[in-house]
Amino acid sequence: MNAAVALITGAGGGLGSATASWLAKSGTRIVATGRSLEPLQKLKAALAGITEVAIIQQDVLSQDAPAKAIEFALGQFGRLDYLVNNAGPGYPKPLAETSDELMDLFIGAHLRAPARFAREALPIMKPGGSIVNISSCLALRGRAGVGVYAAAKAGLIGLTKQIAVEFGPKGIRCNAIAPGVITTAMSADRMGSAPFRRTMLETVPLPVSTGQPDDIGAAVAYLCSEQARFINGHVLVIDGGWSETHYLNADALAR
């Protein structure tokens, strides 16, 4: 079988599972990694009959995680065409409240791990291959309270551009997606926070102030596809206009 193969880190979460589902629509086979086994098993069951899914439980911060994931992909499917660097915690804190341990976690998960996975994957990817890194709209403009998380996500955009220029001549593209607020289990506990609503939701110039995991999954599938063959080194922002405008909705203006 010659269908393409995608490795998705953090595949059991909302964005990762949506990405897997969208890639599966084109027949892409999925290698799904994640720290928890149960969500990966649910993803495999959900895509049964649509595409082949192979799961591997691992922490992307583990020293041997990239090599094991690539070896697993080759053992299962004999090739790797797409890498989606999606895994990572999303609970930023102000710089002054960020411990060394939390700083290492953010940099490790959002920059070091994607760099190591890419470094391991690129030598076996062929022309037509694609890497998509999931960054954040918080990497694009200063915002109080997001500290090292935003800095690490900005570093991931820098890594994206470096991969694009170093491997573009070999026919391998690399792009990033910068999501805004997406409705997932990870973001659910913040929705009721007044400061979060005021700074992140009431400043989106659309009738809806949050995106859905499918918005990200569809974008990843597009960036991996042949239709995006001339897109390289780009950051696709999916935040409803939050990062490109200075908007306040009617509720905010009425206070």
Q: Which residues are catalytic?
A: 149
DSSP alpha helix (H) spans, the chain: 14-24, 37-46, 65-77, 100-107, 113-121, 147-167, 185-188, 194-196, 213-224, 250-254
What φ, ψ does residue 235 adopt, rounded to 5°?
A: -110, 110
Per DSSP, 225 falls in state S
Closest CA to 220 of 89, 130, 123, 150: 130
* Structure tokens belonging to residue 128: 């037509």
Per DSSP, 212 falls in state -
Cα separations (Å) of 233 from 133, 168, 180, 253? 11, 9, 19, 38
Bridge-partner residues for 134, per DSSP? Answer: 177
CB 178 within 8 A of CB 243: yes
CB 232 within 8 A of CB 154: no
Residues 6+ apart with CB under 8 A from 166: none
